[in-house]
Chains A and B, each alone.
Chain A
Amino acid sequence: MSMQTVALLVLLFPAAGAILLAGRGWRMPRTVTQIIGPGVVWASFIATMVLLFNHTFNDFYYWTWIRSGSFALPFNLVVDNLSIFMCLVITGVGGLIVTYSVGYMAHEDDPSYSRFFTYMDVFIFSMLLLVLAGNFVFLIVGWALVGLSSYFLIGFWYRRPSAVLAARKAFVMNVIGDVGMILGAFVLFVSYHSLTYAGVFNELTSLSNSESPALELAAFLLLVGAVAKSAQIPLHTWLPDAMEGPTPVSALIHAATMVTAGVYLVGRMHPIYDVAVYAHGAVAIIGAVTALFAATIALVQTDIKRVLAYSTMSQIGYMFLAVGIGAYTAGFFHLLSHAFFKALLFMAAGNVIHAMHDEQDMRRFGGLWGQLRPTSITFLIGSLSLVGVIPLVGFFSKEQILGAAFSRGEPLTYAVWAVGFATALLTGFYTGRMWWIAFWGKPSPERPVEHPHEAPPVMLIPVVILAILATIGGFIQTRALGFGPHLIDDFLAPANDYAAVGRQMWEEAAGAVVIGLATMALGGILFLAAYRIYVTHAWRPWSAALPWAQRLLERKYYFDEAYDAAFVRTLDRVADLGFRDVETEVLDGAVVGTAELAEAGAGYGSFTQTGYFRNYVLVFVASAVILAIVLLLRAA
């Protein structure tokens, strides 16, 4: 089988799974859903593995999708190291999460159970299309489909008003990004008369990397799409609300894959961003600001999934920071590592929520360490990886980003490094708070379940696999220590020349290793400090000294309120005005006025209809006489 077919199969497996489940699966026994749902994702994973071991750089052409005059758009898939890397994350971590869902969603009623796996397979298909697409049109199609399946899955429990509202919010925010993407593609098309990656990038190189306003504009518009999809400031408000969806959805879509699409986009478009320096700088700044901003909000959240959601925003901020300063491979390494440990954290949290009968407020947990030992251990591994403790995967990826920023030696990179460093400390603290409150100490008196049961194997095994990956995964690239293997850099470098910048930068700066270890130590100390504050209460919590800051963070910097005032209520008022003054007055007035005019006209017209025979005859005769006179006069 040619690699071209295999690349198409990667896409077709989940699509076929979704069609099967939507069409027939829900009428068959549950076992069918349990096999097809995760099975197609694993099939796709195997196909991706085949590509991994047999690939060269390829831009596979399948058929011409649109032909109009001189313009032709192919359906083509780009199979290079970057897309294979992304496919491995999507299908590998995705496969684990979909398998986990078999257990987590077991309480669902029958049609809904199958519906869940249909949506999941649709999502996997859309995400694979997004990363494999070889032109902007199919990138946007995948981009929009990903948003759509995210909408389906957030609103999966459609009887809950909060879930429906959250789904709508996510959809609207994502559509803002889609519009940005589409406009960006328009600008590129107008400038370079091509919509394929190959066409646009070739034009870019042949123009000898000349900076142009149109290119900056396109880069900024694409960034709007990336920011919306990856929940970066200022289009981030949908992600915390998206936690209304089932926990596997949060793990797969809102932690491991979909929200990293923005990072993928910047990486894929790096020929554009390498030239468009202002947009590239904006990527780094947005990433750094979001990283810090989200980490501060995570300090006060009490819903365990919301802590993880803000933490996700913060970690994706790191990735944006990395790709924004040109350290592409560091960013993608963090993407991989984050997919491991954040999916692990979400699924472990899902096990806890499952055991606690859907309670998500972590203040009502407490003392789970003794009762849910396997889940607690995996959660601890995930937490420490998030904090960035050596030798877990999070240390290597995060410190590589910070080291790259530090050693770049420009004012901007020093600034984003400082923000990233502060964020790392906050991460240590909020992760510690979450861990100690939820798992340590005495069981909370408000706990809904006295003796919780550990999750079944189908939910535990994927978590354990991810825990193992989060523990040993870092050793594929230990650049943060200045020595050892660097598989990710090597893998992404040859086909894409992404790594060249980041790698040289790192090797020049061995001094950053010390700073990396110091960051880890400080983060770890803050992790432990949370124990003194939230378990033993030996120290006063910081919020006691700064109640206004606590309130500010609890209200999430009033972003929702500001958007509500600026857009929702303004639009409401405009709509009100339109209804009261335009709709009722002008439009209804025109309709009613036409009717009244017709009625009045008919009233006058009906006077001619007297009903008297002689009147009609008189009119007839008079007309004939007048006509005769006219004819005679004209003849004369």
Chain B
Amino acid sequence: MGTFDVGGSQLDTSWFLLLGAVLFAMGTAGVLVRRNPLIILICIELMLNAVNLTLIAFSRQLENLEGQLFALMTMTVAAAEAVVGLAILVDIFRVRDVEDVDDLSELKG
């Protein structure tokens, strides 16, 4: 319990959690510092998958399938989010060429 059999060697759950945390931090940093809308979307996907990884790790550790169900749910949401986000981006790109999300400031009062 609490260990994973990976290729014959045993790995502690905390490694998977650590990987999820690193991936999530990378995604957050990407969202915060990058300005290209496509990269931002990719970073959001990265954050969501980091969360998935964490959910599955816990699911395995606690022997509870709810975590895997939740991961499936997150994938659905991630797909929907990617569809909507990309659709908006495609629409914006049709009108003009956007390199920087800060250029999209028409709605600022």
Contacts and interface: CB of A to CB of B under 8 A. Distances in A.
Contacts of A611: 102, 105, 108
Contact of B31 (A606, A609, A612, A617): A617
Nearest to B33: A614
B28 A621 contact: yes
A517 B35 CA distance: 120
Contacts, number: 21
Interface residues of B, number: 11
Interface string A361-376: 0000000000000000
Contacts of B33: 614
Contacts of A544: none
A611 B105 CA distance: 7
Contacts of A71: none
B102 A613 contact: yes
A618 interface: yes
Contacts of B32: 614, 617-618, 621
Contacts of A609: 108-109
Nearest to B29: A621
A310 B105 CA distance: 85
A612 B102 contact: yes
A617 B47 CA distance: 13
Interface string A485-499: 000000000000000
B88 to A, nearest CB: 13
Nearest to B34: A614
B65 interface: no
A602 to B, nearest CB: 11
Interface in B11-61: 28, 31-33, 35, 40
A617 B35 CA distance: 13
Contacts of A621: 28, 32
B101 A613 contact: yes
Nearest to B32: A614
A629 to B, nearest CB: 15
Interface in B65-109: 101-102, 105, 108-109
Q: Which of B32, B40, B109 has the most CB of A within 10 A?
A: B32
A606 B108 CA distance: 11
B94 to A, nearest CB: 21
Interface string A506-521: 0000000000000000
A199 B32 CA distance: 89
Nearest to B28: A621
A618 B33 CA distance: 10
A621 B44 CA distance: 13
Interface in A571-616: 606, 609, 611-614
A137 B109 CA distance: 65
Nearest to A611: B108
Nearest to A613: B101
A626 to B, nearest CB: 14
A614 B108 CA distance: 14
A609 B102 CA distance: 13
Contacts of A613: 40, 101-102
Nearest to B25: A621
A625 to B, nearest CB: 10
Contacts of B40: 613
A609 B101 CA distance: 16
Nearest to A618: B32
A612 B40 CA distance: 13
A609 B105 CA distance: 12
Nearest to B44: A617
Interface in A377-418: none
Nearest to B35: A614
A614 B31 contact: yes
B41 to A, nearest CB: 12
Contacts of A612: 102
A613 B85 CA distance: 14
A618 B31 CA distance: 9
Nearest to A614: B32
A621 B31 CA distance: 11
A530 B99 CA distance: 113
Contacts of B35: 614
Contacts of B28: 617, 621
Contacts of B102: 611-613
Nearest to A615: B32
A612 B35 CA distance: 10
A614 B33 CA distance: 7
Contacts of A614: 31-33, 35, 101
Interface in A324-374: none
Contacts of A606: 109
A36 B32 CA distance: 93
A61 B70 CA distance: 85
A256 B17 CA distance: 108
Given A609-B108, A617-B31, 9 more contacts: A611-B102, A611-B105, A613-B40, A614-B31, A614-B33, A614-B101, A617-B32, A621-B28, A621-B32
9 contacts: A611-B105, A611-B108, A612-B102, A613-B102, A614-B32, A614-B33, A614-B101, A617-B32, A621-B28
Interface of A: 606, 609, 611-614, 617-618, 621
Interface of B: 28, 31-33, 35, 40, 101-102, 105, 108-109
Q: Which 9 A-B pairs have the closest CB atoms?
A: A611-B108, A611-B105, A613-B101, A614-B32, A617-B31, A621-B28, A617-B32, A618-B32, A612-B102
